[in-house]
């Protein structure tokens, strides 16, 4: 009978929670807003090296994200190997060619036109780091477990957002690259079949001549994106 009972959760006191005066809270919130308002998706990267320790710290920050049942259903593969980056570029450009030449609707292509994107992806080799983010269908709260994961897409999406924030905070440029399908990433990175490629993050310093399309500078206002019911 006891074996059929749900195990009761154990709790530990909350520690390390910072509480600030309200004015300082506002200053901190606006500081983060200001920092993130300078973030731009870039496609022109410098080949300048970025130390592995910086990438490790940013991935560790992403790994603190909340997740369904705390299963942490993500895996990050950080790639600086030139041969692997070359393989990824070839496979990604093949997928992009199929996308632009048939898979994408006219409406979708029209939406992309102001961004100036095409099938050529040199940044996949130029940037010093690529981070392939994988979503795990099975896992658990500890490494090596084999349980069903929950809210996988939501959890990995949050972790990816935190990764972008950490990278930008460190002074690095990023591009969220999502050629579809991305199964080639699983093969090139040697990941198991039950992991789904979620996004390919291109990471590095912006090229000195980097530009961003004016279309990308348009951001909705706070009034556009929020409603307060008080």
pLDDT value for 4: 45
- Find the angle CA(25)-CA(28)-CA(29) to the nearest 5 degrees: 85
Residue 2 has pLDDT above 80, yes or no: no
Categorize the per-residue pLDDT at 41 as very low, low, confident or very high, splitting at 50, 70 and 90. very high
Give the model confidence (pLDDT) of 138-166 as tens digits: 999 999 999 999 999 999 999 999 999 99
Percent of the chain scored above 90 by pLDDT?
Answer: 83
Closest CA to 204 of 166, 175, 163, 165: 175
Q: Where are the domains of the chain?
A: 46-206
The verdict on whether omega for the bond into residue 181 sits within 30 degrees of 0, i.e. cis, is: yes
Distance of alpha carbon 140 from alpha carbon 96, whole angstroms: 34
Cβ neighbourhood burial of 11 (10 Å; 0-12, 13-18, 19+):
exposed
pLDDT at 82 over 80: yes
Please give the pLDDT value at position 100.
Answer: 87
Neighbours of 140 (CB within 10 A): 17
pLDDT tens per residue, range 183-227: 999 999 999 999 999 999 999 999 999 999 998 899 999 999 999
What is residue 6's predicted lDDT score, i.e. its pLDDT? 59
pLDDT bin (cut points 50, 70, 90) of residue 9 is: confident
Q: What confidence score (pLDDT) does residue 49 get?
A: 98
Topology of the domain comprising 46-206:
NADH Oxidase (3.40.109)
Residue 199 CB contacts under 8 Å (≥ 6 apart), including other chains? 132, 133, 160, 176, 177, 178
């Amino acid at each position: 009978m006891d074996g059929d009972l749900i195990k009761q959760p154990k709790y530990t006191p909350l520690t390390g929670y910072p509480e600030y005066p309200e004015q300082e809270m506002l200053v901190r919130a606006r500081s983060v807003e200001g920092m993130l308002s300078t973030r731009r998706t870039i496609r022109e990267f410098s080949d300048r090296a970025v130390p592995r320790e910086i990438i490790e710290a940013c991935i560790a920050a992403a790994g603190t994200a909340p997740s369904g049942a705390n299963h942490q259903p993500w895996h990050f593969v950080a790639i600086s190997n030139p041969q692997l980056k070359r393989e990824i570029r070839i496979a990604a450009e093949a997928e992009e060619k199929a996308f632009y030449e048939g898979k994408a609707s006219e409406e979708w292509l029209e939406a992309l036109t102001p961004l100036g994107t095409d099938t050529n992806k040199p940044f996949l080799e130029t940037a010093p780091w690529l981070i392939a983010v994988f979503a795990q269908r099975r896992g658990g709260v500890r490494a090596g477990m084999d349980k069903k994961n929950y809210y996988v897409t939501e959890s990995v999406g949050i972790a990816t957002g935190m990764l972008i924030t950490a990278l930008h905070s460190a002074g690095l440029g990023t591009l969220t690259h999502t050629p579809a399908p991305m199964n080639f990433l699983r093969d090139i990175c040697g990941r198991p079949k039950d992991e789904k490629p979620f996004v390919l993050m291109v990471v590095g310093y912006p090229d000195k001549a980097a530009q961003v399309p004016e279309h990308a500078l348009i951001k909705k206002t706070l009034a556009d994106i929020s409603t307060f019911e008080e």
